[in-house]
Amino acid sequence: MTDRQFGRVRFIYGDNGGKYPFNHSLYLKGDRERVIIDPACSAVKLADLRDRDGVDAVWLSHWHEDHIRYMDHFEHCSVWLSKRDFPPLSDIQVFLDWYGLKTPHHRGYWEKIMLEEFHYKPLSHAGFLADDTAIDLGGFTVQVIATPGHTPGHLSFFFPEEELLFLGDYDLTSFGPWYGDVASSIEDTITSIRKLRSIPAKRWVAAHNEGLYEENPGRLWDAYENIIYERENKLLAFLAQPKTQDEICAAWLIYGRPRDPLDFFEFNEKVLVGKHLEYLLRRRLIILEGERYVRA
Ligand SMILES: [Zn+2]
């Protein structure tokens, strides 16, 4: 896939097919302001864009590292995002806290990666994009759409003139949605998926993998949302007999099998299982007996 121009909006295809730790970015060329959204697609492309086309501002869909990777190319720019997602970008310790990293081993591992691979630099300030507002960039408008769940301040963007919707990390991948951070929410993820689905777009851009959809992704939306319910059903079936959280994680209900790097995926399995357990407990579909969860 190559970069594509739609009116004032450019789709910039990411390195490695936009797979983590890269993404696909958008470039907005307004008469008043030129914006890069989620500058993590490609060091070469972003340096070229900055030097040839010019960039005045960086907008972020959310705080995750695979969306901020090349922020260091744009130190002359103002940075804009949801106020709710600002804290982890203001302090690396807060960033690690928001991922729920507790042991010195995990925190040290991630701090090193954030500094070396993702060029993390704390922001002393940022501008805040208000939920569900329209912004005139000069010659065209952008609608800021609050889509919490993946992160509390996740934003998507709709361009009415181009009929293009930037989904961010509601990325329609076969893995399904991520909601494993401390402040992620399964309920909000479901609401946001449905909100995005209802927007009358003709083109859809996901931040990862496939990236650009020029036909309604229709059934992909169903498949993506259904993964949440499939994960839950697997967990409920497994909890016919009481199980500890460690026993549940050892079954790899979400990732299917142990994956490399093991440390990374064990952590992810644990936090996603943890979110599902909380969600099932809140609805009284499971109960906690001592240290074991079991179907109610
Ligand atoms: Zn993300």
Q: Per residue in 237-284, pLDDT tens?
A: 999 999 999 999 999 999 999 999 998 899 999 999 999 999 999 999
pLDDT in tens, 122-181: 999 999 999 999 999 999 999 999 999 999 999 999 999 999 999 999 999 999 999 999
Given a contact cutoff of 8 angstroms between Cβ atoms, the answer to whether 167 and 203 are in contact is no
- pLDDT score, position 1: 79
Residue boundaries of the structural domains of the chain: 4-220, 239-295
- Span 169-210, pLDDT tens digits: 999 999 999 999 999 999 999 999 999 999 999 999 999 999
Q: Which CATH class is domain 4-220?
A: alpha beta
Cα→Cα distances 255→138, 169, 210, 252, 262, Å: 45, 18, 20, 6, 11
Contact 168, 155 (CB under 8 A): yes
- Cα(58)–Cα(73) distance, integer angstroms: 10
Q: Find the 137 Cα to ligand 1 centroid distance in Å.
A: 25
What CATH number has the domain spanning 239-295? 1.10.10
Which residues make Cβ contacts (< 8 Å) with residue 58, sequence separation at least 6?
A: 35, 36, 37, 39, 71, 74, 77, 78, 79, 80
Bridge partners, residue 135, by sequence: 142
Distance from residue 166's CA to the centre of ligand 1 (Å)? 13
Q: Chain-wide mean pLDDT for the chain?
A: 97
pLDDT band at 43 (very low <50, low <70, confident <90, very high): very high
pLDDT band at 9 (very low <50, low <70, confident <90, very high): very high
Sequential DSSP letters for 89-119: HH-HHHHHHHTT--SHHHHHHHHHHHHHTS-
Q: DSSP letter for 151, please.
A: S
What pLDDT sits at residue 33? 97
CA of 65 to the centre of ligand 1 (A): 8
- The predicted-structure confidence for 59-98, as pLDDT tens digits, reads as follows 999 999 999 999 999 999 999 999 999 999 999 999 999 9
Ligand 1 midpoint to CA 68 (Å): 10
Query: What is the distance between the alpha carbons of residues 262 and 260, in angstroms, rounded to a whole number?
Result: 4
The per-residue pLDDT for 50 is 98
Give residue 42 CA to ligand 1 midpoint distance, Å.
17
Which two structure tokens, joined as six digits, stand for 129? 């994009």
pTM comes to 0.96
Residues within 5 Å of ion ligand 1 by Cβ? 64, 169
